[in-house]
Structure formats: C-alpha cells, structure tokens
Amino acid sequence: MELLNNIAKLHTTELGAVRIKRNLALDCDDCVAWCREQINAPEAVIERRGKNWYITVNGCIITVNAYSYTIITAHTI
C-alpha cells in the first residue's frame, strides 16, 4: 500500500499537531509518531478518497494528504 510504503514521510504542521492533540485529547510530545504507530496497526483500515487517505483505527479517523503525506487532522468516531 502506497501510504505504508511512505510512512517515513508522514509529518504535520505546528497547527496540525495542536489540532490533533486537542481533537484526540492526546497527552504526548510527538503526535506524528503516535499517528504513525496507529496507521501501522494491523487493525487499521486505510482507504483513499480523492486527495486524502482516511485511516480508521482504535476509535478515531486520521486524515492524511495523499501527495504531501501531511497529517491534516484526526477525530474520534
């Protein structure tokens, strides 16, 4: 899968990190590492719709831009 093959390119902006932490109530220093771990989980469901990847895993949805591998946002389900 293209996203998993390029997982090392995963990143976010400073505002994106704040948004992800707030939306998921995360208490961690590195939300990109947290997201990378979730995306690599065996139970993760990854689908591409248009320009974004949507990863559903452990009660949340992570949105990643398919071209830049930027984590845009994450929400609980």
Alpha-carbon Rg of the chain, whole angstroms?
Answer: 11
pLDDT of residue 42: 95
75 φ/ψ angles, rounded to the nearest 5 degrees: -135, 150
pLDDT band at 29 (very low <50, low <70, confident <90, very high): confident
Share of the chain above pLDDT 90, in %: 94
pLDDT band at 1 (very low <50, low <70, confident <90, very high): confident
Torsion angle, CA of 69/19/73/59, rounded to 10 degrees? 120
Q: Tell me the two tokens of residue 36.
A: 């990378």
Per-residue pLDDT tens digits for 36-72: 999 999 999 999 999 999 999 999 999 999 999 999 9
